[in-house]
Every structure is written in C-alpha cells, then in structure tokens.
C-alpha cells in the first residue's frame, strides 16, 4: 500500500442464523480473563463473555462487539464490529497475535535512564505508520536530564519530520497536565523499553486504576485477574488507555522492506524520485533518499537506523523486501 499506511481492515463476522439479532447488545472488550473476555456493556457493567472462537477469529482488547446474555449471568460474543485499527505482535511459530484494536495513538516512551534506544523508537514508529496509527514521543523523567540542550536537539529531529513530542516527569508531575489534555477523547497505548517508567506514567494518568481492576475482577466473577493481561481503562478526562504490560515490543514480522521504507514518513515524498522502482535506499544508484540523508535534507541518524532495521528484517525474512 502506498505510503506504508495500512488502516485497520474492516473485520465483521456474520452472526449465526439461529441467533435472533434482537437479542444482541453492544459492548466493548476491556480485558482478557483466562479463556473469557471482560465485556463492558453500554450501561457500564462488566460481563464475563465467551466466544465462538473459530468462527469469530481472535477478539482483542478494544474490540467493539455484539454479545448476547446466556446462562449464569454471563454472555457470549457473537460478532466483532469493524475495526479502525489493529496492532499485532509476533507470536509462536511465526503467527501474529493481536495486541489491541481501535487504537488511534501510541505513545513511545523514553527516558534518560536506561539510555534511549532510538533504533527501537524508530521501529515502533515504522510499525505505527504501517498500521495507520498515530504515534507521539514521550520523554519521561525529565527531572533527571543533565543536558537539556542535547535532548532537545535529539527530539527536534522528530519534530522536524512531524512527530509531536512531550517532555515530562511522572514522579514530579511536570508536564503531566499537558499530556492529559492531549489524550482527551483518544484511545492510546504506551510502548517503550523496560525501565522508562511506563507503569509510573500509567498510574499517574489513571489514579483510580486499582479500583477499576477490582471492579473488573469482581463483576467478572473470576477474582483478581493477572496483571500481565491487557486491560482498557477510561481516562478521567475522556478517552481510553489500553495498558498491555506483557507487550514491551511489537516487531517487524509483518512488514516488508518496502513497507519499512514507507514507514519512515520523511522518506515517502522522496521515494518516487528514486531512479529505480525497486530501490532499497542503500547503495542503489540514483537513490533520492540516500542523497537527502547525505545533504541534510532528512535526518542522517534516522537514515542510518533505517539501514540497521532493514538488515534486521532481511535476517529474519530473506524475501522480506518484495513481500506484501
């Protein structure tokens, strides 16, 4: 797909003929609980639901669904409504597993310690571009930064190509109000390497998180569910945050080499100017992308990280360039 953008594919499975559609109710999947799903009803109640998994496919947190009541005050999901986006991660045996549906923003979190992994940041951004999900950079623990000018220069490269950046401290609350305001009415998820303070930031954004966990556990009847399960919380100011502590990285398994290049938004206007249609933007003759990196037209450091990600992609899938 041109531009590397792949908006969430409409996903709608037909309801079985023996189900009266008048019995169906709208709901939102807010967590996985064992083999069941915690579904929030339109009135705000939580119902433990099961699915006809083979027929429906994989339902995930953030999915809007149609469900119907069944025995024991439980329910059954009968239909997954069309998605606006879907984020996936590598699973076992080369399969892709769903992370979250209907996200419209991913916050890529970094901090002064551990040292920022800008290669991982660029990987997150490329995946988000590929999936048609907006991404923003959040630099946490700003109170621990010793060289503010160097940090601003690094973040300025991302602002230069159109990414919004936030600097804040979950501990001191510096910059937190501005971030809260920007998240209003959005469905977001945090991503980033371990140790950057994602949990602290989540707790700062969700002061009633533990109450919500208890509510889901109590109303589902399963007791306190595992903390590694992805869970959707409603932000106090409006909008939702999907907390997925068990997913630190979503990988490149689904992206081709062309898709990776398209995932660099500063490359996209230049790619049509390359001499060859199959230009890999490496040592290819007449490559407009490489020329722009060498002349300062696009960030040279980002270009070098693109080459590293392309090598990583080629190592895991030899035919990765032409796939898609």
CATH number of the domain that residue 53 is part of: 2.40.50.140
Model pLDDT, residue 172: 96
Distance CA(63)–CA(83), nearest Å, equals: 7
76/116 same-domain check: no
Whether 170 and 127 map to the same domain: the answer is yes
Query: Is there a single domain that holds both residue 135 and residue 211?
Result: yes
Q: According to the model, what pLDDT value does residue 2 have?
A: 38
Asked if 90 contacts 253 with a C-beta cutoff of 8 angstroms, the reply is yes
12 assigned to some structural domain: no
- Other CB atoms within 10 Å distance of the CB of residue 311: 10
- Which CATH number characterizes residue 274's domain? 1.10.40.50
151 shares its domain with 57: no
Contact 87, 259 (CB under 8 A): no
Check whether 195 has a pLDDT greater than 70.
yes
Do you know the residue count of the chain?
324
Residue 156 covered by a domain: yes
User: Would the pLDDT of 245 be above 90?
Assistant: no
CA–CA separation, 222 vs 121, rounded Å?
A: 37
Q: Provide the H-helix boundaries in 86-197.
A: 118-131, 148-160, 176-183
Q: What is the pTM of this model?
A: 0.86
Q: Are residues 151 and 227 in the same domain?
A: yes
Span 135-152, pLDDT tens digits: 999 999 999 999 999 999
Q: What is the CATH number of the domain that holds 223?
A: 3.40.50.300
Domain residue limits at 162? 86-243
**Over the chain, what is the mean pLDDT?**
86
Sequence-distant (≥ 6) Cβ neighbours of residue 122 within 8 angstroms: 264, 302, 305, 306, 309
Extract the tokens encoding 279. Answer: 């230009």
Residue 127's region, left for phi above 0, alpha for psi from -120 to 50, else beta, is alpha
Q: Given 221, 243, 265, which residue is the final one in a domain?
A: 243
Has residue 1 been placed in a domain?
no
Count of the separate structural domains present in the chain: 3
> Is residue 204 predicted with pLDDT exceeding 80?
yes
**Does 227 score more than 70 pLDDT?**
no
One domain, residues 66 and 215: no
What pLDDT, on a 0 to 100 scale, did the predictor assign at position 221?
59
Whole-number pLDDT of residue 96: 81
Cβ contact 18:57 at 8 Å: no
Q: Do 45 and 136 belong to one domain? A: no
For 9-27, the DSSP string reads: PP--PPPPTTS-GGG-EEE
User: What is the predicted pLDDT for the residue at 54?
Assistant: 67
Same domain, 204 and 274: no
Spacing of C-alpha 300 from chain mean position:
26
């Amino acid at each position: 797909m041109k531009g590397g953008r792949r908006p969430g594919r409409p996903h709608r499975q037909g309801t079985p003929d023996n189900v009266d559609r008048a019995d169906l109710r709208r709901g939102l999947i807010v967590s996985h609980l064992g083999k069941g799903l915690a579904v929030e009803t339109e009135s705000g109640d939580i119902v433990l639901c099961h699915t006809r998994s083979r027929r429906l496919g994989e339902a995930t947190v953030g999915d809007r669904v149609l469900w119907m009541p069944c025995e024991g005050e439980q329910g059954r999901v009968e239909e997954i409504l069309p998605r606006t986006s879907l984020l996936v991660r590598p699973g076992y045996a080369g399969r892709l597993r769903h992370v979250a549906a209907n996200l419209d923003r991913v916050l890529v979190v970094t901090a002064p310690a551990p040292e920022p992994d800008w290669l991982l940041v660029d990987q997150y951004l490329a995946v988000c571009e590929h999936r048609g999900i907006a991404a923003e950079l959040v630099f946490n623990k700003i109170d621990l930064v010793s060289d503010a000018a160097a940090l601003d220069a690094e973040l300025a490269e991302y602002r230069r190509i159109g990414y919004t950046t936030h600097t804040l401290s979950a501990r001191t609350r510096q910059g937190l109000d501005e971030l809260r305001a920007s998240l209003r009415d959005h469905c977001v998820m945090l991503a980033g390497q371990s140790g950057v303070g994602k949990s602290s930031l989540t707790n700062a954004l969700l002061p009633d998180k533990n109450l919500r966990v208890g509510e889901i556990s109590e109303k589902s009847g399963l007791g306190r569910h595992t903390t590694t399960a992805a869970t959707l919380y409603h932000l106090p100011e409006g909008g939702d945050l999907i907390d997925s502590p068990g997913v630190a990285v979503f990988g490149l398994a689904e992206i081709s080499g062309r898709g990776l290049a398209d995932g660099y938004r500063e490359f996209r206007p230049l790619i049509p100017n390359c001499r060859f249609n199959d230009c890999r933007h490496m040592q290819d003759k007449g490559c407009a992308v490489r020329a722009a990196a060498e002349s300062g037209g696009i960030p040279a450091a980002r270009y070098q990280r693109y080459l590293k990600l392309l090598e990583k992609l080629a190592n895991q899938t030899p035919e990765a360039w032409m796939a898609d």
